[in-house]
Amino acid sequence: MILIKLSSPGWEKEFQTEEELKTELYNWICKDCKEGCDEEYDGFVHVELPVDSNSSLGEMLSTSCGCEFYVE
């Protein structure tokens, strides 16, 4: 599995297991994304569920920080 950081400066790292990849990705997720949020922007409510190290890869990637990454 390859974790690709899309934002600048980008990089790629290869991992043998999903657990290793999730550990690396979790390190890049900020405190606010880890805690989740419920905020209103221009009349729309943005809800982001909290994530922890046991969250699924999809849940981590769906955070504001996680969307900077792609997995192959």
Residue-wise pLDDT for 23-72, tens only, equals: 999 999 999 889 887 666 667 666 678 899 999 999 999 888 999 999 99
Note the pLDDT of residue 41.
Answer: 65
- pLDDT at position 46, please? 61
**Across 10-23, average pLDDT:** 97
Torsion of CA 69, 64, 33, 5, to 10 degrees: 20
Backbone angles phi, psi at 20, to 5 degrees: -65, -45
53/72 Cα distance (integer angstroms) = 20
Q: How far apart are the first and last CA of the chain?
A: 6
What does pTM read for this prediction? 0.84
